[in-house]
Amino acid sequence: WDSVVKKTFRKKEEILPMQLLENDKIKEELEAFFLSVRDFRGKFRAEAPFTFTGDPKIAYQELDRHARELDVKEKEAKRFNELEELFELQVSKYAEMGDTRTELRSLKQVWDMKAQIQFTYSSWNGQLWNDIKTDDLEDVNKILLKNLRKMGTDTPVMKGWTAYRSIEDTIKNMSVVLPLINELHSPAMRDRHWKSLAKVCGVKAIDPNDPKFTFEDTVALKVHEHVEDVEEIVETANKELKIERKLRDIENIWRSMTLEYVPHNDTEMFLVKLSEEVIENLESHQLELQTMIGMGKFVDFFRDRVLHWQGTLGSMEDVLKVWVNVTRSWTALESIFLASADIRSQLPDDTKRFEGIDSEFKELMKDA
């Protein structure tokens, strides 16, 4: 055994010069490899899709390219580590490659998320306007945002990447678009409102009644860039619908409204009698019309109709007041001049004048 040990030491001494020579060679190669790793790391940070916001297919191609290069570097590092162990050199560690591998996995997660979102949104594109269920889509969108933010919480460094932020912006934009689409489904929307929306969005026309009008067409309008304008259009439509319905109610009521006539003292003559319904409708409808006029821009489309009915009901009220007052005066004077012979004899001129008025009034009432 001692002999074997001595031979081993002698052999070691014999190969020591070669070992030292090989050590120097390995160290030179290690230095060059270290520089190549650093260069690879720099290119990865510059070229990997951290800031890219385009098609996931292109991002995946870049990720695959960097992954292949990293595989080669890791194999080289393993070979150098084995040589370092063999030649009793300190084993090198390459933190850059570990960081790169970690970031590659994280980038893959980010782009998987973007691909999922694009697939989800594209699956909505074919939905026809009348079939869009915004509540269901909003629920899905909230889940997407929740998953993205959980991923960012688990790996905080992602939040600083442009790719991550662009995905977050995409989801947030959709969270604005969906409620607007829901509002645009309001039954109050008329052609004039869609024309206003088209002008805001910079397109020639928007026709939701087109059987080919889809979710994709709506998203293409970029309504999320015109939130205030869209909300104002919908608000105007809703306010105008209320005015339109109230005007229609007023018009229908007065088309069917009739004046009540009652017989006068068991004679064939009939006198007008204002019912509570007529009086209440006159008062309430004039108040409602006055309220409409005070609604500013919301009444513009119906202003002429509102003013027309204001004038009509105002004139009607004036005429009815005069009519009732004249009827009341005639009734009082009739009991004086036609029922008392003494007064007729004492006031012959007034009696004659009243008889003329009486005849004219009765003729007017007959016509009425």
Q: What is the average per-residue pLDDT within 48-55?
A: 96
| Structural domains of the chain, ranges and CATH numbers in brackets | 1-185 (no CATH), 257-367 (1.20.140.100)
Residues 123 and 195: their CA atoms lie apart, in Å, by 28
State how far the Cα of 246 lies from the Cα of 239, in Å rounded to an integer.
Answer: 11
Give residue 265's pLDDT. Answer: 80
What spatial distance separates the first Cα and last Cα of the chain, rounded to whole Å? 145
State whether the Cα torsion 297-303-309-310 is positive or negative.
positive
Mean pLDDT, the chain, integer? 90
Least confident of 126-135, 183-192, 307-316, 334-343: 334-343
Mean pLDDT, residues 286-296: 95
pLDDT for residue 169 is more than 80 = yes
Tell me the percentage of the chain whose pLDDT exceeds 90.
Answer: 70
Q: Residue 66 is encoded by which pair of tokens?
A: 């960097």
φ, ψ at 271 (rounded to 5°): -115, 150
State the DSSP H helix or E strand holding residue 112, giving kind and residue range, or none if neither.
helix 95-124
More confident residue, 161 or 22: 161
- Average the pLDDT over each of 62-76, 136-150, 323-337 and give the range with the smallest value: 323-337
Could you count the other beta carbons within 10 Å of the beta carbon of residue 259? 12
Contact 306, 314 (CB under 8 A): no
Check pLDDT > 90 for residue 6. Answer: no
* 336 vs 253, higher pLDDT: 253
The set of residues, in sequence order, having a beta carbon less than 8 Å from that of 51 and lying 6+ positions away, is: 161, 162, 163
Quick one: pLDDT at residue 146? 97
CA dist 45 → 40, 51, 152, 162, 351 (Å): 9, 10, 19, 13, 114
The residue type found at 46 is: A
Q: What are phi and psi of 260, to 5 degrees?
A: -95, 135
**pLDDT at residue 303 greater than cutoff 60:** yes
What pLDDT does residue 156 have? 96
In the prediction, which pLDDT does 212 show? 94
pLDDT of residue 266: 75
Instruction: Please give the average per-residue pLDDT across 249-259, as a whole number.
Output: 92
CA proximity to 66, closest of 46, 90, 80 = 46
Give the pLDDT band of residue 25 (cuts 50, 70, 90).
Answer: confident
Compute the distance between CA of residue 364 and CA of residue 368 in angstroms, rounded to an integer: 6
Least confident of 10-19, 43-52, 225-234, 352-361: 10-19
Name 191's Cβ contacts closer than 8 Å, sequence gap at least 6: none
β-pair partners for 272: 261
The CA distance from 156 to 154, in Å, is: 6
Residues 6+ apart with CB under 8 A from 107: 48, 49, 50, 59, 63, 161, 163
Structure tokens at 145: 């945002």
What 290-296 contacts at long range (C-beta under 8 Å, 24+ apart), as own/partner pairs, is 292/243, 292/246, 292/247, 295/239, 295/243
CA distances from 68 to 111, 156, 310 (A): 18, 26, 81
Summarize the confidence of residues 36-56 as an average pLDDT: 95
In this prediction, residues 251-273 reach a mean pLDDT of 86
What is the percent of the chain where pLDDT is above 70?
93
Q: Which long-range contacts (CB under 8 A, 24 or more apart) does 254-259 make?
A: 254/281, 254/285, 254/312, 254/313, 257/281, 259/368
Distance separating alpha carbons of residues 21 and 33, to the nearest angstrom = 18
Higher pLDDT, 179 or 359: 179
Does 13 have pLDDT greater than 60?
no
pLDDT beyond 80 at 280: yes
Show the tokens assigned to 5: 């040990």
Q: pTM of the prediction? A: 0.78
Lowest mean pLDDT among 59-73, 98-112, 186-200, 248-262: 248-262
Instruction: List Cβ neighbours of 88 (8 Å cut-off, separation of 6 or more).
Output: none
Provide the b/e sequence for 264-296 (b: ≥16 CB within 10 Å). beeeeeebeeeeeebeebbeebbebbeebeebe
Q: What are phi and psi of 128, to 5 degrees?
A: -70, 155
Would you tell me how many other CB atoms lie within 10 Å of the CB of residue 245? 11
